[in-house]
Structure 1
Amino acid sequence: MSKVLVFACLLVLFTATSPAVRGKYYSDSHIVNVPATIKKTHLHFFMHDILSGNNPSAVLVAKPNGTVVQEVNLLPFGAVYVIDDWLTVGPDPKSKIIGNARGMYASTSRGSDLTLLLSADFEFTSGGFNGSSIGVFSRDPLVVAKEVAVVGGRGKFRMAKGFILLNAVYFNTTNGDAILECHATIFH
């Protein structure tokens, strides 16, 4: 037998028995000791989503082909915005900044029921939760009062679950600027 054929046979033999080929995509389930106490934290803050002016906090980064995004329709189906919104203690834009919401939202409705898909990290940069964040990934219907899901977190909110009740305290129908009151209930 030639050396090439021997090498090929050995290669086939070793790759056929490698752990990667026989491996599983999961591990066996086992019981873990989880702390019996789960904390519940309530947060109240305001989120400023500004599309207008020289320093917007939400910027259009993608739009559907052939669609012109105008003031009459800031969110056509398929539009994607990236956000870096301030989180403040009050509705006034000059109130104390306690963090930011960074992420994106996309217009996901073709009908009259305008709906966004919101994916964002709400990081707190002051107070007792400085350096911690909550992760939101949820359907966000464009109505005055709504609820979005908290699906995780970092720092003191590691493995968080919960929800945020959002209420629009200000909305400019011409330019899309909004101030949302946020009542977050977080289990961590």
Structure 2
Amino acid sequence: MEKLPLFLILFSLAISMAMADSNEVDEWFGNLQHAKERTTRLHFYFHDTTSGKNPSARRVAQAPSTNKSPTFFGLINMMDDPLTEGPEATSKLVGRGQGLYASSGLDELSLLMAWNVIFKSGDYNGSSLTILGRNPTTHPLREMSIVGGTGVFRMARGVVTLKTYFFNSSAGVAVVQVDVVAIHY
């Protein structure tokens, strides 16, 4: 009997899993006309660390003039930040905030953020929310848009508010309170 290469076995498995998932999504959309809209409110913290042994955000690009800019205009970071129930780093992990943020303001420190909140525990485990918007980091309260989601949050829309809980620029650490109002089916 001829042995199949491992990549072929894994590829076949991935295709069959995708087809099963696709059928489940099709079924979900088929039942959408009977679904009721729900509002979910969430509260958690993200921990963005740009220095140390294991930074959760890393600089991936910058403009030639970024280091001369008071707002770091043109700087782009990728992030994979832990999301926790409380503001302490040791608090229970609820998920990851994965995406990018870029310094987009010439006159004010403001970030363009595109990120996914991927839930890793609880009722929302395996689901995600996609968030996009402007984050003027020096403002006490910032608002961003929920532009989609997966799993429990399919077809989500809504608002995310951010409030800095702790910031230390020399240590490269920010802890940000996140409040979510998501409308979904």
TMscore range, shorter length: 0.7 to 0.9
4+ long deviations beyond 3 Å: 33-36, 66-69
How far did 1:151 drift?
A: 0.5
How many Å apart are 1:66 and its aligned residue? 4.8
Structure number with the higher helix fraction is 2
What SS does the corresponding residue of 2:106 show, helix, strand or coil? coil
Q: Which residue of the partner structure matches residue 165 of structure 2?
A: 169
- Which runs of 5 or more residues in structure 1 are unaligned? 1-32
TM-score normalised according to structure 1 size:
0.76
- 1: distance between equivalents of 2:80 and 2:100? 9
Equivalent residue letter for 2:126: G
Hey, what does 1:156 align to over in structure 2?
152
Cα gap change, 1:129 to 1:149, in 2 (>3 Å):
same
Q: 1:36 to 1:127 in 2, by over 3 A?
A: closer
Structure 1 residues 140, 66: closer, same or farther in 2, change over 3 A?
closer
Q: What is the deviation of 1:67?
A: 4.0
Within the candidate set 117, 139, 153, 2:134 is matched to: 139
Aligned length: 153
**Seq. identity, %:** 39
**In the alignment, which residue of structure 2 is the partner of 1:119?**
114
Gaps of 5+ in 2: 1-31
Local SS of the residue matching 2:116: strand
Q: Secondary structure at the match of 2:98?
A: strand
CA RMSD of aligned residues (A): 1.9
- Distance in 2 of aligned mates of 1:117 and 1:67: 15
Whole-angstrom distance in 1 between the partners of 2:143 and 2:66: 29
2-structure distance, mates of 1:36, 1:159: 12
